[in-house]
Each structure stands twice: as structure tokens, then as C-alpha cells.
Amino acid sequence: MFRTLIALCLSIVASTAWAEIDIKQVTSANGINAWVVEEPSIPFIAIEIRFRGGASLDRSGKRGAVNLMTGLIEEGSGAMTAQEFQTAREALAARFSFQATDDTITISTRFLTENSDAALALLRQAIIDPTFDQDALDRVRAQVLSSIASDAKDPNSIASAAFDAAAFGGHPYGTSMDGTVESVNALTRDDMRDAHADALARDRLYVAVVGDITAEAVGPMLDALLGDLPAVGVPMPTDVDFGLAGGVTVIDYDTPQAVALFGHNGMTRDDPDFFAAYIMNQVLGAGGFESRLMTEVREKRGLTYGISTFLVPKFHAEMILGTVASANATIAQAIDVTRAEWARMADDGMTADELAAAKTYLTGEYPLRFDGNSDIAQIMVGMQMIDLPPAYVTNRNAYIEAVTLDDVNRVAAALLQPDDLHFVVVGQPTDLEATK
Amino acid sequence: MTRLFAALALITAGLAAQAEEATTFTLDNGMEVVVIEDHRAPVVVHMVWYKIGSADEPVGASGVAHFLEHLLFKQTDVLEAGEFSAIVSANGGSDNAFTSYDYTAYFQRIAADRLELMMQMESNRMNNLAITADDIETERNVILEERNQRTENNPGALAREQFQAALYQNHRYGVPIIGWKHEMEQLELEDTKAFYDLYYSPNNAVLVVAGDVQPDAVKALAETYYGVIPAEAQLPERIRPQEPPQRAERRVTYVDPRVSQPYLIRSYLAPERDPGAQSEAAALVYLADLLGGSSFTSALGQALQFDRQIALYTNASYDGSSLDTDMFSVAVAPADGVTLSQAEAAMDEVINAFMEADIDPARMDSIRTQLRASEVYAKDDVQQLARRYGAALTQSLTVQDVQAWPDVLQSVTEADIKAVAAKVFNRDQSVTGWVVSSQEEAR
């Protein structure tokens, strides 16, 4: 009975149709492009705004400026102090978040249809006309310094900092976007204005709008919201090679469970083999309970609560990375098993059954991502940033289906290099030799 | 500003608190069912919640509820170990589970036309788990590594464990959900089986199905798969040891060199949402927001982060979702050069001043507006709605309580807040915890 029903479901999975979302492309009178999905059933609107470049645009000697500037956008603008601004925002029940990453500044917003004009006016004021008051600067600076101090004692942050520094050296990817105690302490209001002008410009802008609004209304809305930003920002950072050779780095830290961050050079997002690599990674370490690493390290041996791997195609470098944590006495064994699985996938590839299971999962899971206004807006803005067309949403599963066993195993052999794997381990691991 | 106030008036008029489309019924064997419809995408969330959590564990076996949650992914009479998740995955879905003090829940998120398969498998593992001593050995190591990751490697989590053990003198909320390490190491097959046999039963479970489904169809499937499982006749009444009258405040200092930022947190015992009696809990939601909800507009944030600039961070928090007595917490992380004693004194001044002064009506309006709006935003996340019902029904609330909650929140008055605050701010029922990197910092 069980088997029958399972077989039935597997046989229909490939043909399952799903309600396609209707993406409309809009260009405003002033030339701002956006993707729009009209979803009038709930009376609110989600706007996702991204600026390419992000914290990697910090000027020389000003590390942490873009991050601090982004934190200050909601801390006073126009004629309003931070407290007045937040009081007004709360009264509208609008939600704004401003976040810097290595490659982007992200502005995520949700606001009610009823008061959308007032919410947009407030958001515009914050984006276009932040005041960077000295009070606010000092207050948020203290928060950033506390976060820097906290990272210095957090095993995962210690591992990331060491890995990034060794892999990328003086490129912005080699240091934390928070900056250092020294660089952050030296930042001034002028630095904030510079970072704002450098990073928030229309030549690097991507927008998606989902919710209770018509596509016709989006253009004028965006011109009012973003039209007064400068047309051009500073040049993008240069690309950088992954510079970390295979080996093991051990950083002594007194904590019961050692954490390991590992990886090597990866693959660009526009590589024709990207989908093969994506499926390979799914089977190797990204597939939750179903992945080979989870099976071998957790399910069979009980060495960890979780292990996972990621393809990380950033804008200026690409990696395949993984993380695992295990007690100091067992981390060496967890690393051995991980290396062995890396080599097994590279040498022998995967089976036809594994490929089929990964494809059914990935094609079945994809439509489930589109189930909320903010989720859809985030997906759409992410697609724009990597030059995918709206039709990708419809075609994406076909790209997955088109990958053959030969493709995936050829890519596994080329991408996975067990000798290039570098493990940065933070803790007090037993029986683990550092290389140098 | 005029324009903003005009907009505000519109919201208050326009947004009636409206219940989502929820249908409820009970199967003949006592299993409760909630169906929430959301037809925007062909997706379903299928959850089974058991009215059993870590606070129901036998003495000496802390962590067994969570351990059993892990073991439910092992073999049953028809499923091999790991096959449950493999089948979910092969159908494009994802699955997981979670354990809390008051419940243990299992869920899958998958294409809506796979609901029957999920029910077939989930109903199978309600009664037919076939775990062995070997499973126990490996999986015990996994939960110990989970404790390492969540707690042993995290000074904040270790501190919280100590503070909560001090706050609850008799109730099992004082014991961590994941278990004390020395007891986890001793958990055996018999511990988990005894727990499973008694509590994993339809009359101790709630089914929540949310998404692109029709209630009639869900009912037919639920009767087919869950309805045939016999009720557990021996299921005991859910009686847990309660707190005695607390007569002395407790102070705890947790020292760990891995702490980078010292802070203090004071937790008071506080009433929880109860069936038909949610007003005090609703007032506490306002109290948390007024005292420490936002750095910019709350009493603690304004006084300590803006006016006096002696704190880096302030917060007040209250959840309200709890079967037994809950807690209300306030926290301060002092700015550089400010001691914890000074920060604590300043925090108490703010609390005292709050009790003396009138509450600003504009703040009340703002909180009401935000609570109404959060109901609009909540409709965008059907999984969150499903969790709301599952948690409530395993914590003694009814569907009516869940649906009444937004209106109860809207009807809170300034007087209600002051009354509940006067009751909760009793230092004899509190723990004040300091978290520092060295004894020298504890001053």
C-alpha cells in the first residue's frame, strides 16, 4: 500500500503544473527598471531594493564606512531625529530594513496599502536625505564596535575571518565589512556622506515590487522614491583569485566544540555548468538529511549535529564552502570523513538514482519558494542582479532536468579538488595536525 | 506630521481584526484538526503537534522528549531509517520537527497534491516506531553535539540556562529543553519507548493543515489515516508541579571568558495566556513594547540609550505562549565605562518612573496600529499561522482563544497595563542575572 502510493506520486511529480506568477517589467519615466507582481489579496505592498557593490565599495582606509552608513539610514533624516523618524514609522506600522553585505546594500520594506503614500514619503526621506547626526553616528558606532568585539570571541566568526584573510588578502573580501576598531573609530560624518554617494546610485539599482499595487502605479512611485539619487556611483571592485592552498589551520580557542570552515575555489554563476555543479553540491552536502556528508558524518557516525556545503558565487570571486562542528575529540574524524567524501564524489561521481532523487527534489521544491509577497520580491531582485530574465522562473526546472549523469560527474571531477581543500579549525582539536 | 496622523486615522477605521479562514473539527478518537485555507500557491504545510514537551519529562530523564523527536526519523514497521525524509525530499518537499517545553511537533512543507502521502507516513510513525539500541547510541551522540553547538559553545545560552533554573524553583521550565548533559548521556531505549508509547496518541495530538486545501478533503483524509488509530486509554491528565509562593529574589552572576559584552537580564514570573482569560497577557504585550520594544521609542531605550547614553542596548520581552507560568524579562547592555551596578540602578529608575507616570496615548495608538498591521502581514505567511494554532492548542488554549486574541489586544487600556505591571514587578519572584567575562567585571 505504501509502495503503491509512493510510486504513484513519483510518477506524477514531473508533470505537476503550478500557478505561474505573472512578472511584469516596468521602466519608469526617469529610467528606473523594476519587476512587479500584482497580488491584491492582502492589503500591503513589499518592495525589495538592492544596490550592487555594497561594503566592497569602502574607500581606502575607510573600512566599515558603508556598513556604518547603512546602519544610519534609519537614524535621522530630513528634519527628523532618529527618534522622530522611528515614531513616525511605527505609527504607520511600516517595516523598513537596511542591510549591507559584501556585494550589496539591501532595503527591504513592507507597508500597508491604506497609508502607502505616507510610508513611501518617509522611506524616500531616509534613502535620499539621511542627516548622519554626530549623536547617531557615535551611538551606532558603539554598536558596531561591540559587534566587532563579539566576533573576536565567536568561534564561527574567528574561523571566517581567518579563512577570508588567507583567501583574499587585501581585497575587500579579505576583511570584515564591519571594519576594525581603529578604522571604525576614525570614521566621520564626511565619510558617511561619501559612502552614501558612492554606494547608493541609480547605475547599480535593482527593484522588485509585489503586492496590492498595479504595475502602472509602480513607475511614478519609484521615480518619487529613488529618482533623486545620484545617477552614477563609484566603480565596482576588481575581481580577485582565491588564494588559499589546501591544508589545515588550527586556531587555539578554549571551547568544548571545535568548528571548521572549509572550502576551495568554486564556479561562477554564469558558467554553463552551473546547474550540474548545483546538483552535485545538492547530493554532496546541501541536501539536508539526504546529502552524503550528512549521512556519513551525522547519521552513520554521530559526529555532528549538522554539516553542509554551499556554492558561493560572489560578484568578484567564487568558492565552494562547507561548515561542520564536532567535539574537540572528534573533529579530526569528521574532517577525515569529509575529505573522503569529497574525493569519492570527485573520483566516482554519483549514481543515476542519486541524480534522479536530487532532480525531483530541486524541481519540486522550486515553486514552493514563491509563497509570500516578500519572498517573491527577494527572488525577483536576486534574479535581476545576476542578469536572469523573468522567463527563468518558467524555464528553471527544465535547466535542472537537462543535466545528465555525464555532466554532473564531469563537473564533480573538475570542481572538487580534495587536495585543495583548506580547513580552518577553531577550538582545541585532538589528533589534528596543522599544515604550514 | 499632519499627513501622518490623517493616515493613522484611516488605518484604525479600515483594518478590522479579521480571523483567517480556519475550519476545525475533532476526530472520533479525540484528535483535534485545524485547517487554514490559503489558495495563493499550490503548497501545503502539514503539522502534527503532540501535547508533550520537555516540561512533561520524568525526573532524571531530561532531554528525552527532544531525543525522541530525533528518533522519529528512524525506522518504523514499514519505513526504513531516514526513509521518511527521503520520500518527502523526493517529492520536492522539506520536513523537520521541533520540541519545546509544552509540545513536540513534526511538519512537512510540500506541493498540495502530496498531502495524502504525508498523512500516510505521519500517521504511521505515531504508533509504529521500531527503534533499536543501535539507533540510540549514534543518535545520542548527535543530540550531545547539538547541545555542544547550541549551548556549550555559547556563553549566552549557558547563562540563560542558569538563570532559568534559578527562576523556576519547582516547575520543569527550570530544566533545559535539550536536557542537562549528564542526564542526556544516560538516556536509554526504555526511556524513549515509555515516553513514546504513552504520549504519541491521537487523543494527545493536534493536526494542523494549512495552504491550498479544501477542509472537506482534509477531513476525509484525516479520518482515513489518523481516525483509525485507537485513542490511548491510559493517557494521564496533564498535571505538572507548579511554583510555590516565591519569597526571595535571586541574583546570579555567570562568568565566562568567552563573553565579549557584559549585560544583565532580570526575569520575573508572569501570567500566561489562559483559556478565556487572555487580558493580563495582552496587557503584558503592551508593557514589553512600552518599556523595551524599540530602542528609539520605548522607555528604556529613550532614557538609557538616548537621554543618558549609558546603554548600548536595552530590551523588554514577553511571549505569553506557555501552558504554565511564563516570564517577563528586561535587559540592559551597558555602554563602555558603565558598570553593571550602575546600569541596573538606571534600569530600575526607568521602571519606577514608568510606574509613576501616565502612559502617552500616542504610544498606545501606535502599538494598537502595529498589532493590527501585524495581522495583515501574518496572512502572507501561512506556515506561521499554522504554528500559531498548533502552539495554542497544545498549551490549553482553544481555537476561539486564538481568534479572539487580536481583539483582546486591541481592548487593552492604560489601567490594565499598570495593574499587571504592579503585579509582575515583584522582586521576590525574580532572578537578576549578570553575564561577565571575569569576576572583576561583575561590579
- Are the beta carbons of A171 and A51 closer than 8 angstroms? no
Do residues A285 and A309 lie in contact, with contact meaning Cβ atoms separated by under 8 Å? yes
Q: How far apart, in whole angstroms, are the C-alpha atoms of residue A181 and residue A68?
A: 13
User: Is A367 within 8 Å of B111 when comparing Cβ atoms?
Assistant: yes
DSSP-derived 3-state class of residue A100? strand
> Strands, E, within A298-408: which ranges?
307-313, 318-327
**pLDDT given at position B41:** 86
In this model, does residue A17 exceed pLDDT 70? no
B1 CB within 8 Å of a chain A CB: yes
Residue A92 has pLDDT above 80, yes or no: yes
Alpha-carbon span A379 to A398, nearest angstrom:
18
Please say if the pLDDT value at position A2 is more than 70: no
Q: For chain A, give the mean pLDDT.
A: 94
- Tell how strand A104-112 and strand B94-99 pair up: unpaired
Give the position of cell 494527545.
B204
Q: Residue A95: its chain B contacts at CB < 8 A?
A: 377
C-alpha dist (Å) from residue B274 to B394, B405, B424: 12, 11, 16
Q: B11, B365, B4: which is closest to A121 by C-alpha?
A: B4
Q: Is residue B380 within 8 Å of residue A374, measured between CB atoms?
A: yes
Look up residue A352 and give its three cell numbers: 543515476
Asked if B26 has any chain A CB less than 8 Å from its own CB, the reply is: no
Contact between B34 and B207 under an 8 Å Cβ cutoff? The reply is: yes
pLDDT score, position B20? 61
pLDDT single digits (tens) B308-321 = 999 999 999 999 99
Per the annotation, the verdict on B190 as an active-site residue is: no
Contacts of A237 (CB under 8 A, 6+ apart): A53, A56, A57, A171, A172, A316
State yes or no: pLDDT of A28 exceeds 80. yes
Of A288, A306, A368, the CB nearest to B109: A368
- CA B427/CA B425 separation, integer angstroms: 6
What strands lie across the sheet with A247-252, from one edge to the other? Answer: A247-252, A422-427, A257-265, A318-327, A307-313
> Nearest residue of B to residue A140 by CA position?
B312
Residue B76 DSSP one-character state: B
**Residue A297 clears pLDDT 80, i.e. is over it:** yes
Q: Which chain A residues are Cβ-neighbours of B296 within 8 angstroms?
A: 82-83, 85-87
CA-to-CA distance for A62 and B406, rounded, in angstroms?
48
The answer on pLDDT for A1 being more than 80 is no
The low-confidence residues of chain B, meaning pLDDT below 70, are 1-20
Q: What is the DSSP string of A405-434?
A: HHHHHHHHHHH--GGG-EEEEEE--SS-PP
Closest CB to A360 among B92, B117, B297: B92
How far is Cα B362 from Cα B72, in angstroms, rounded to an integer? 50
The H or E element that residue B163 is part of is helix B155-167
| Nearest chain B Cα distance for residue A337, angstroms | 16
Inter-chain CB proximity A13 and B40 less than 8 Å:
no
Q: How far apart are the CA of A117 and the nearest CA of chain B, in angstroms?
A: 9
User: Which residues does A63 contact at the CB level (< 8 Å), separation at least 6?
Assistant: A172, A175, A177, A179, A180, A183, A184
The cell numbers describing B21, all together, are: 479562514
Sorted by where each starts, the structural domains of chain A and their CATH numbers stand as 22-226 (3.30.830.10), 247-427 (3.30.830.10)
**pLDDT tens-place string over residues A225-280:** 999 999 999 999 999 999 999 999 999 999 999 999 999 999 999 999 999 999 99
Model pLDDT, residue A13: 38
Ramachandran class of A202: left when φ > 0, alpha when ψ lies in -120 to 50, beta otherwise: alpha
Amino acid at B116: E
Beta bridge partners of B264: B332, B434
Q: Are the C-beta atoms of residues A424 and A261 closer than 8 Å to each other?
A: yes
Is the pLDDT at A6 greater than 80? The verdict is no
Chain A residue numbers with beta carbons less than 8 Å from the beta carbon of B224 are: none
Q: Using alpha carbons, list the distances in angstroms from residue B331 to B259, B263, B284.
A: 16, 7, 16
Dihedrals phi, psi of B263, to nearest 5 degrees: -155, 165
Beta pairing partners, B35: B23, B209
Amino acid B241: pLDDT = 94
Q: Quick one: closest CA in B to A19, which residue? A: B41
Q: What is the ipTM of this complex?
A: 0.91
Cell digits of residue A300: 552513520
